[in-house]
Every structure is written in C-alpha cells, then in structure tokens.
C-alpha cells in the first residue's frame, strides 16, 4: 500500500482507542500486522499529560503514527488540532475529520474540503475521512489530497459497506488514487468485500477493540485483507444469472443409439 510516496507491507490501518487494556491493545496491533496506527490528540492531553504513558506504548511498537482530528466540528477546530498533533507527534501526516454532528459522525464535506486546502498549503499530508461522493472526492484531489478515505458506514456501526455501488464507482473514477475504506466495518467479511472492489486498504478500530477477543479478531482482519486483495488481483469470474456447467461436454458418453 502506497501513501504519499511511502510503501507499507500491510493494508490494514488500526485505531488505538476503546481497548480493554493497553496490553490487549498492544497484542492486537501486533497480531494485525498493521504498519500504521491512528492516534487521537486527546489521548496525549489532559492533566499533567496523562496520556504520556500511552504515547510511550505507541512509540515502542515502532509503527507509523497517523494522528487524527476526531471530534472536530469546524474548519478552525480541525486545523488547530492538526497543528497541535504535528507538534506532539512529530509528523506532518494527519487523518482529517470534520464531522457534521455527534449523532451520525458523518463528514461535513464543505468544511472538510476547506480544511484540506488550508492544511496542504501548510505542508501537511492529508488523509481525509469523507463520503463516497465523486464530486466531493474531486474537490479533495484538486486540493492536493493523494489519499481518499471514504466511509463504509457510520463510525462504530459495524454495518459494513452501505453503498457498494458508490464505492465501486469511486474506485473506477480514481484508478491511480490510494483509496482506503474508513469506518463502519464490523466483520472480516466486510474487509474482504472492500478489497475485492479494488481498494488499497481499510482503517478500523471498534470492530477489533470491542470484540470479545480483540487479538483473535485483529488476526482475522489481517487474513481477510490478504484474501480479498488476492481475489481482486486474480481477476475473478463474472457473476451470471444462469448455471454454467463446469464439466466439459467433450467426451461425454452418448446413449442416443440405445
């Protein structure tokens, strides 16, 4: 998976919140084989920098850190959070989120495009959490985003791919763009479906962190991404409405003379 000129062995990006304990989080991330983990600035804030121990854990994993602007509802808030994240985490990568409301967590696309333009002009490498709308995607690409991250379904819903047609069209419209399905996946089968559509990767958190066994689920998603990508690269057969015999007719016994 290529992101802003860097190549990563894993196509799975994993979040770091909601786990039962730091130990389980660490084990799940290792089991997933993820090369990139997302981190919220809020985990590093608080009285007397209470998140410092958490940040130490993340650094010890030796993975690429992708800070996000989770919980931001305005352009100003998202841009300010991105600046703070760059200072705290020492990276110009940012997963840009500008959400409409706390109920749906749907991307607020007008603010998203504006914030992306501002941050890219300031040297950030922006990975925007967006919807599967081609006009919005075009605006983000025009702003300078080399990666697009359309949602599969609302964050934390576990519904999978709500709009397979829209995602398929997005892949066809942006053949050279890195596309990552972000949010709403609940099962490894959802990740397989995204990869079979030709997406470059998936980002998820809740499906692993809130599973009965996060470590086993993380491994399941890792295998799912590998299977889905192999299926896409194999150029799978087209679906048909009618049966088609798999046994050749040539050489079949004929009983016509009896």
156 marked as part of a ligand binding site: yes
**Is the per-residue pLDDT at 250 higher than 70?**
no
Asked if residue 94 lies in contact with residue 68, where contact means CB atoms within 8 angstroms, the answer is yes
Quote the percentage of the chain above a pLDDT of 70. 91
Query: What's residue 102's pLDDT?
Result: 81
Helix axes 109-121, 75-89, angle to 10 degrees: 40
Taking alpha carbons only, the member of 58, 8, 25 closest to residue 218 is 25
pLDDT tens digits along 64-98: 999 999 989 999 999 999 999 999 889 999 999 99
Measured distance CA(48)–CA(138) in Å, rounded: 43
Specify burial of residue 184 (Cβ count, 10 A radius: 0-12, 13-18, 19+): buried
Query: What's residue 46's pLDDT?
Result: 43
Residues designated catalytic: 95
Answer whether 0.85 is exceeded by the pTM.
yes
198 marked as part of a ligand binding site: no
Specify burial of residue 155 (Cβ count, 10 A radius: 0-12, 13-18, 19+): buried
153 marked as part of a ligand binding site: no
Q: Does domain 12-232 have CATH number 3.40.50.10470?
A: no
> Residue 141's Cα: distance from chain center in Å?
17
pLDDT confidence of 243, banded at 50, 70, 90? confident
pLDDT top residue among 208 and 47: 208
Asked if residue 160 lies in contact with residue 146, where contact means CB atoms within 8 angstroms, the answer is no
pLDDT top residue among 245 and 20: 20
> Residue 5's Cα: distance from chain center in Å?
18
**Is the per-residue pLDDT at 223 higher than 80?**
yes
Taking alpha carbons only, the member of 166, 154, 163, 164 closest to residue 206 is 154
Query: What's residue 48's pLDDT?
Result: 45
206 marked as part of a ligand binding site: yes
Domain ranges of the chain: 12-232
Measured distance CA(222)–CA(169) in Å, rounded: 25
Average pLDDT score, the chain: 90
pLDDT tens digits along 117-149: 999 999 999 999 999 999 999 999 999 999 999
Asked if residue 68 lies in contact with residue 40, where contact means CB atoms within 8 angstroms, the answer is yes
16 to each of 13, 29, 69, how far by Cα in Å?
A: 10, 8, 14
Q: Is 89 left (phi over 0), alpha (psi -120 to 50) or beta?
A: alpha
């Amino acid at each position: 998976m290529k992101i802003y000129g860097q190549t990563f062995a894993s196509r799975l990006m994993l979040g770091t919140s909601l786990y039962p304990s730091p130990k389980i989080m660490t084990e799940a991330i290792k089991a997933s084989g993820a090369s990139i983990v997302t981190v919220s600035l809020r985990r590093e804030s608080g009285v007397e920098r209470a998140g410092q121990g958490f940040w130490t854990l993340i650094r010890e994993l030796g993975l690429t850190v992708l800070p996000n602007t989770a919980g931001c509802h305005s352009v100003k808030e998202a841009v300010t959070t991105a600046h703070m994240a760059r200072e705290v985490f020492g990276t110009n990568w940012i997963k840009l989120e500008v959400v409409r409301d706390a109920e749906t967590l749907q991307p607020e696309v007008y603010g998203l495009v504006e914030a992306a333009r501002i941050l890219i002009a300031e040297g950030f490498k922006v990975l925007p959490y967006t919807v599967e709308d081609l006009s919005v995607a075009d605006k983000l690409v025009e702003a300078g985003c080399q990666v697009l991250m359309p949602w599969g379904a609302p964050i934390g819903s576990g519904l999978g791919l709500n709009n397979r047609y829209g995602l398929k069209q997005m892949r066809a419209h942006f053949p050279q763009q890195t596309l990552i399905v972000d949010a709403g996946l609940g099962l490894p089968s959802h990740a397989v479906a995204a990869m079979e559509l030709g997406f470059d990767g998936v980002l998820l958190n809740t499906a692993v962190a809130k599973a009965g066994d996060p470590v086993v689920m993380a491994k399941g998603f890792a295998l799912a991404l590998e299977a889905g990508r192999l299926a896409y690269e194999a150029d799978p057969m087209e679906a048909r409405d009618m049966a088609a015999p798999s046994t050749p007719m040539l050489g079949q016994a004929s009983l016509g003379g009896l």
